[in-house]
Amino acid sequence: MKPSDDELGFLSCQEIVDYCFDFLSGSLPETDRKLFSAHLRNCAECMRFFETYRKTPEVSREALALRIPDRVRVAVRDFLRERYEPSAASEDSSTRR
């Protein structure tokens, strides 16, 4: 006979946040894994958080894999140099006087 969620106990929403890594890595003890899964089945907010947490590494890898086109990279670099280099700032202040 399978124990009910009440017999297993419960995890708080904060514990769900704290245990996400352990759950995904497989290091969460079996009893806590069951409690974790039971909580997610009954708490839509934690389920949304967990899905976001689970997908973050994948999304990060995809974002890092994107390469900025050279012309965009050069344009941004030139803009930032023009705007923020100390020599450009001192020239601006001397022309304002």
Q: What is the pLDDT of residues 1-24, one digit of tens each?
A: 444 545 446 899 999 999 999 999
Please tell me the predicted confidence (pLDDT) of residue 70.
86
* Mean pLDDT of all residues in 24-46: 94
Q: Which helix (H) or strand (E) holds 81?
A: helix 70-84
**Whole-number average pLDDT of the chain:** 81
pLDDT band at 85 (very low <50, low <70, confident <90, very high): confident
Q: Is the pTM of this model over 0.75?
A: no
- The residues near 45 (Cβ < 8 Å, ≥ 6 apart) are 13
